[in-house]
Chain A
Amino acid sequence: MSQAHFDYLLRLGDTSLVLAQQLGEWVGHAPALEEDLGLANIALDLLGQARLLLSYAGELEGCGRDEDALAFLRDVPQFRNLALAEQPNGDFAATIVRQFLLDAYQRELYGDLSHSKDGRLAGIAAKALKETQYHWRFSSRWLVRLGDGTEESHRRVELALAELWPYTNEMFDVDATDRAMEEAGVGPSLAAIEPRWRAAVLAILVEATLVAPKDRGKLTAGKRGLHGEALGFLLADMQFLQRAYPGAQW
Chain B
Amino acid sequence: MTEARTDWPLWEVFIRSRAGLEHKHAGSLHAADATMAIEHGRDLYTRRMEGVSIWVVRSSDLVASDPGEGAALFEPARDKVYRHPTFYDIPDEVKNL
Mark A residues whose CB is within 8 Å of B: 31-34, 37-38, 41, 134, 137-138, 141, 145
Number of interface residues of B (CB under 8 A): 16
Query: Can you spell out 24 A-B residue pairs with CB atoms less than 8 angstroms apart?
Result: A31-B1, A31-B4, A32-B1, A32-B4, A32-B30, A33-B30, A34-B29, A34-B30, A34-B40, A34-B43, A37-B40, A37-B44, A38-B39, A38-B40, A38-B43, A41-B43, A134-B42, A137-B39, A138-B39, A141-B35, A141-B36, A141-B39, A145-B32, A145-B36
Cβ of B83 within 8 Å of any chain A Cβ, yes or no, is: no
Give Cα A32 to B10, complex, Å: 13
Within 8 Å CB of B43, what residues of A?
34, 37-38, 41
| Chain B 23-62 interface 0/1 with A at a Cβ cutoff of 8 Å (1 = within) | 0000001111001100110111001000000000000000
Name A29's closest neighbour in chain B (CB-CB): B1
> Count of A-B contacts with CB under 8 A?
31
SS class, residues of chain B in contact with chain A:
helix
The 4 A-B pairs with the shortest beta carbon distances in the complex, nearest first, are: A34-B40, A38-B43, A32-B4, A37-B43
CB atoms of B39 and A32 under 8 A apart: no
With A32-B5, A33-B30, A34-B31 given, name 8 new contacts (CB 8 A). A34-B30, A37-B44, A37-B47, A38-B43, A134-B42, A137-B39, A141-B36, A141-B39
Within 8 Å CB of B36, what residues of A?
141, 145
* A96 CB → nearest B CB, Å: 13
* B22 CB → nearest A CB, Å: 25
Give Cα A137 to B30, complex, Å: 19
* B9 CB → nearest A CB, Å: 12
